[in-house]
Structure formats: C-alpha cells, structure tokens
Amino acid sequence: MNIVIGITGASGAIYGIKLLEVLKSIPQIATHLVMSKYAVENIGIETDYSIGQVLGLADFTYDNDCLSARISSGSYITDATVIVPCSMKTLACISNGICDTLIARAADVALKESRKLIICPRETPLNSIHLENMLKLSRLGVKIIPPMPAYYNKPKTLDDIQNHQVMKICDCLGIANEIGHRWK
C-alpha cells in the first residue's frame, strides 16, 4: 500500500506521528509524508520529537510547496490519503478545490481518482462553515474522523487516547490492528 500522510498546523501533530510509527512497522506499507510549515512548528511546541525523527518515520517526504511531487498526480497510484490533524484552513481548501499546497493537492487527487481520503479535523468549537465543509466532503465519500477520545476503554494515559485514534484511522484504511482497546 502507498499511503499519503499530511500533517497540518492544527494542534494534535502527535496523532500523525503515532500513525506514522504504526505504519512504519508494517513492511507492506510505504508512507509519503507532507508537513505544513505550522505542523513543523507545532511538532516542536507539542511533542518531544525532532523534525528529523518524524521525517525518519516516513518512506518518502515532500515539501508542502512542491506541487510537482509525484503524489500531486493522479497517474501516481496511491491507496489512501490521511490528513491528521487537519486544520480548518486545509479542510476549507480541500472542500473548495483550492490546491495551493501539496497536502491540499494530494487530497484533491484522492477525490478525483476516487481513492480513500481520511480527514481528522482538529478544532473546537466548530462553526457553521467548518461543519458545512465537513458535510460537503462527507457527501463525496471522505471519512471524517475527528480525534474524539472514547472512554469505554478506560484510558489511563494520553498514549491510550492517541492509540485509539490511530486504531480508528487504521480500521478505516482496512489495516488489521490491535492498537487500541475495542468495545467488548
């Protein structure tokens, strides 16, 4: 599988990092990572990971300004694109077909080629514009998986909460996993 991972400047970069860690452990999956400028900033603010460590988790990395990257073309076959976390700016760009960054273009390619697109929006409270953009994308088949912790699994640590989100993303990708605790 070829999976594009976009990490935007929304809070919650750790979700993208944790997903990369899980996917790296599966030899049949190649990851293509794109980070926005503010994702890089947030990784430094929110996590103990260096940018080098995050880049090292991906098989291929691209600059978000490089619209000539292979993942910007529908003729390059990918299986899915996951944007985690997804800022409201990126969500709006995707929803309105504005491909001014590689992350938005990769999502646009997933839409136009009828490939799996998963968006994990991170914002609260949500206004009507945010909700309308999500609804528009949902109607196009995009899976919207906001990082909302489950409590039936009795999380004890932040890791438990983060793993549950990654489990939900992997489930949507069709990747068998036991990353988080499931409903009994």
- Whether residue 19 lies inside any domain: the answer is yes
- Whether residue 184 lies inside any domain: the answer is no
Alpha helices by DSSP H, listed for the chain, are 13-24, 37-46, 51-56, 88-95, 102-112, 128-139, 158-173
Give the CATH number, domain containing residue 89: 3.40.50.1950
- Whether residue 12 lies inside any domain: the answer is yes
Position 177 scores a pLDDT of 87
What's the domain range around 144?
A: 2-173
Number of domains in the chain: 1
Could you list the pLDDT tens digit for every one of the 184 residues in the chain? 999 999 999 999 999 999 999 999 999 999 999 999 999 999 999 999 999 999 999 999 999 999 999 999 999 999 999 999 999 999 999 999 999 999 999 999 999 999 999 999 999 999 999 999 999 999 999 999 999 999 999 999 999 999 999 999 999 999 998 888 788 7
- Whether residue 121 lies inside any domain: the answer is yes
Terminal CA-CA length for the chain: 30
pTM of model > 0.75:
yes
- Whether residue 180 lies inside any domain: the answer is no
- Whether residue 178 lies inside any domain: the answer is no
Position 74 scores a pLDDT of 97
